[in-house]
Amino acid sequence: MPEPIHQVTFQPDNITVDVYRHGENLLRVAMAAGVHINASCGGNGTCGKCKVIIDQGKVESEHSAKISDEQWEQGYRLACRTKVIDDLIITIPPESRIDNSALKRKTGGQRHILKARDLNTLVQGLTINPAVFKCYLELPPPTADDNMSDLGRLMREIKRAYKYDHISTDFHLLRRLSRVLRQAEWKVTVTLVYNPKGFKLIDLEAGDTTKDNYSIIIDVGTTTVKGQLLNLEECRIAHSNANGTDADNENLCAEDAKYNSQVRFGEDVISRIVHSQKKGGLEELQQAIVGDINDIITQLLKSADIRDDQISHLVIAGNTTMTQLLLGVDPKYIREDPYVPTANFFPPVRAVEIGIKLPDYIHLYVFPQVSSYVGGDIVAGVLGSGIFQREELTLFIDVGTNGEIVLGNADWLVCTSCSAGPAFEGGGVKNGMRAAAGAIEQVRINPETYEPMVITIGSQKTMGICGSGLIDAAAELLLTGIIEPNGKFKRDLDTDRVREGENGWEYVLVYADQTASGIGDVVITEGDLDNLIRTKGAIYAGCRILLESVGLSFADLDKLIIAGGFGQFINLERAITIGLLPEIEPEKFLFVGNGALLGSRLVSFSREMMKDARRVADMMTNIELANNMKFMDEYVAALFLPHTDTAAFPGVMKILKGSG
């Protein structure tokens, strides 16, 4: 654990919390400490309910019209507009507390979100030798005595200087080979691509351009497309300077993301496959995703101020449907029994051939996949998190539109995919939205007054609720006894926030006058809770089935890795409270962020990792859950908060009994 930078003590409950970031938002600190401060505008500074008094220490705070000059002089500040820059003693005045009770439950479970620099802690023996690399050569010009062809001369020098054998040549290069050699006066840089059978010569440039060696990696998600630009040459330098302790980080030059434009043809993979079967549908989908990738590449080049001819490699990881749509390969049979993809291993293809606007020598490496519903993004995640190298029994969960789960170690890997439903991405939830500015991401509810404390992403006015907010809200509703374990609201509570709305019973998180639109209350309904319970039930049941398939249980796990952008934001303790994740020791959990990008970085830096990607995909045995009766039984058992098998959640049950 890092050392705390500041400490904040909240009075009158005398709760002290460590703060690890200079400038942390005071309302977020209170929430992490389980201290209730009224907050109904999402931390936007407009409701004026989060007033606190700074008794001791310095803060940075915005002057707000919600605080009079006299109050300002007395030390009143809005917690949501205040930064912690010192050790503080704070008093929460009665009007910000509603009553004298504070939520003293411990919140915010331990978690460790890995940064890129932690790559070497995940994978063992990472050697930095990019699969696409450059070599500078000074060739002797041809003479009457040495009149070998230009290509032969080049090959001879590569073999002589670098001892590389089995080099093939990209045909397109031949058309300009002679001209470039002479214009460069025989001083050139060649770009070679490693493949298991040898090397391929793909480019030739005048002079020494070995420093211009960049890779672009793309995660093609159903909802979001993310890209990063990596400097492969600096990586080599950074790695050797750091004695192998930092394989990455400094070489991340730029990153960009955008929503997948295919979404206009359907939210999920099934509706996009359906669209692909219409006349011109496959072309529309292919062009949409290629357009997104081109936009991201343009932005990456602009941000890093480099040219496209400085790029050498393009690596893409996506789920099976996204991969086939990108390549223009008909995905029809992915959704037809027995659900087989066209291929699990795609040969390298020139990026330009599928419409990507990069120089014609750049090849696209597509991550191999396992099955129709366990794709290259999951293989990349398994590769990047190093499961395939360790003896420890590891469960890997990637939560997105689908829930993909992998179990195993260095000897074996089994995997499955459960259609978790889009609840975590805002789908099927009345006020659901993606994790964007204005989305409620954290919720605490006072157990006596049932008043909420709400924080939105970016502290913007509330627009809706995202997946992590939904999990938080459901856990709080359960812990405060507002809902029963079956997800139904208690009808007789003394609060106006629980009411019968037009979509059935609901809890008001934010009243309309504090929302961005100003026209509708932001609520969580019984229907939303139903969707959430089905989603978490499918993931938990999928995990149980995988474990049972090899005769193991959650108790046998050494590690549980959570990947996916969503995984970065969920509160571990809350996810366990609702039974999305199993109740095992907190130190066994590891959050690795975006698995697709994690694995793509490794493949960019290391040709051994490129080989391992194929090995990992080959190792993974897919277990199909469709028509699996055991899965249905497990699923039904999991449609309860936290679970019908309460013995599997002793800690949660203890808290529930204590709060009931």
Residues in contact with ligand FES by CB under 6 A are 39-41, 43-50, 78, 80
Q: CA dihedral defined by 135, 141, 145, 148, rounded to 10 degrees?
A: 50
Tokens representing 616 are 């990992």
Q: Which is nearer to ligand FES, 47 or 317 (CB)?
A: 47
Helix (H) / strand (E) element for 562: namely: strand 559-563
Report how far residue 595's alpha carbon sits from residue 591's, in angstroms, rounded to the nearest whole number.
10
Residue 364 contacts residue 297 (beta carbons within 8 Å): no
Residue whose CB is less far from ligand FES, 195 or 446: 446
* Closest CB 51 distance from ligand FES, rounded Å: 8
By C-beta, is 65 or 629 nearer to ligand FES?
65
Which residues 6+ apart lie within 8 Å of 242 measured at CB?
A: none
Tell me whether residue 40 or residue 394 sits nearer to ligand FES (CB atom). 40
Q: Which is nearer to ligand FES, 48 or 291 (CB)?
A: 48
Indicate the DSSP class of residue 96: G
**Amino acid at position 595, single letter:** G
Of 534, 554, 539, residue with least CA distance to 650: 554
Name the minimum Å distance from CB 413 to ligand FES.
46
Least Å from the CB of residue 228 to ligand FES: 35
- Least Å distance, CB 66 to ligand FES, is 6
C-alpha distance from residue 39 to each of 30, 47, 462, 479 (Å): 11, 7, 11, 19
How big is the chain by its Cα radius of gyration, in Å?
Answer: 28
What's the CA gap between 67 and 245, in Å, rounded? 50
Pairwise CA distance, residues 19 & 310, whole Å: 43
CB of residue 54 to ligand FES, shortest distance in Å: 15
CA nearest 37: which of 518, 520, 446?
A: 446
Nearest residue (CB) to ligand FES, 47 versus 225: 47
Q: Please, which residue, 45 or 57, has the CB nearer to ligand FES? A: 45
* Rounded Cα gap, residues 48 and 38, in angstroms: 9
User: Kindly report the CA angle at 269 between 266 and 270, in degrees rounded to 5?
Assistant: 85
Extract the tokens encoding 78: 């809005």
CA distance 392 to 234: 33
Closest by alpha carbon to 347, among 365, 331, 360?
365
Would you say 49 or 239 has its CB closer to ligand FES?
Answer: 49
> Least separation, in Å, of the C-beta of 47 and ligand FES?
3
Residue 53 CB, nearest approach to ligand FES (Å): 14
Nearer to ligand FES, 107 or 215 (CB): 107
Minimum Å gap between C-beta 77 and ligand FES is 10
**Do the bridges between strand 413-418 and strand 620-622 make them parallel or antiparallel, or are there none, so unpaired?**
parallel
CB closer to ligand FES, 52 vs 225: 52
Burial group, residue 597, by CB count within 10 angstroms (0-12, 13-18, 19+): buried
Which is nearer to ligand FES, 458 or 481 (by Cβ)?
A: 458
Judged by CB, which is closer to ligand FES: 94, or 586? 94
Q: Residue 97 CB, nearest distance to ligand FES (Å)? A: 13
Three-class SS of 315-364: EEEECHHHHHHHHCCCCHHHHCCCCCCCCCCCCCEEHHHHCCCCCCCCEE
Task: Please identify which residue in the block is written with the tokens 């050790």.
Answer: 87
Among candidate residues 383, 212, 386, the one with its CA nearest the CA of residue 306: 212
Would you say 50 or 529 has its CB closer to ligand FES?
A: 50
> What's the closest the beta carbon of residue 50 comes to ligand FES, in angstroms?
3
Q: Which is nearer to ligand FES, 95 or 585 (CB)?
A: 95
DSSP 624: -
d(CA 275, CA 332): 10
Tell me how far, at minimum, the Cβ of 459 lies from ligand FES, in Å.
8
Q: Is residue 103 a contact partner of residue 447, using CB atoms and an 8 Å limit?
A: yes
The least distance separating ligand FES from the CB of residue 41, rounded to whole angstroms, comes to 4
Query: Measured from the CB atom, is 48 or 355 closer to ligand FES?
Result: 48
d(CA 232, CA 248): 9
537: exposed, middle or buried (Cβ count in 10 Å: 0-12, 13-18, 19+): buried
| Cα–Cα distance, 273 to 499 (Å, whole number) | 40
* Listed residue (42, 147, 145, 39) closest to 96, CA to CA: 39
Task: Give me the least distance between CB of 39 and ligand FES, in Å please.
Answer: 4
Considering the complex, what minimum distance in angstroms separates the CB of residue 649 from ligand FES? 32
SS3 of 108, please?
coil
Q: Strands 76-78 and 88-91: what pairing?
A: unpaired
Q: Which is nearer to ligand FES, 97 or 363 (CB)?
A: 97
Least spacing, CB of residue 4 vs ligand FES, in Å: 24
Question: At closest approach, how far in Å is the CB of 99 from ligand FES?
Answer: 18
Task: Judge whether 118 and 89 are in contact, CB under 8 Å.
Answer: no
Q: 325 vs 169, 274, 282, 414, CA distance in Å?
A: 29, 12, 7, 26
Q: How far is the CB of 87 from ligand FES (least distance, A)?
A: 22
In the block, residue with structure tokens 């793309």? 218
Q: Which is nearer to ligand FES, 41 or 334 (CB)?
A: 41
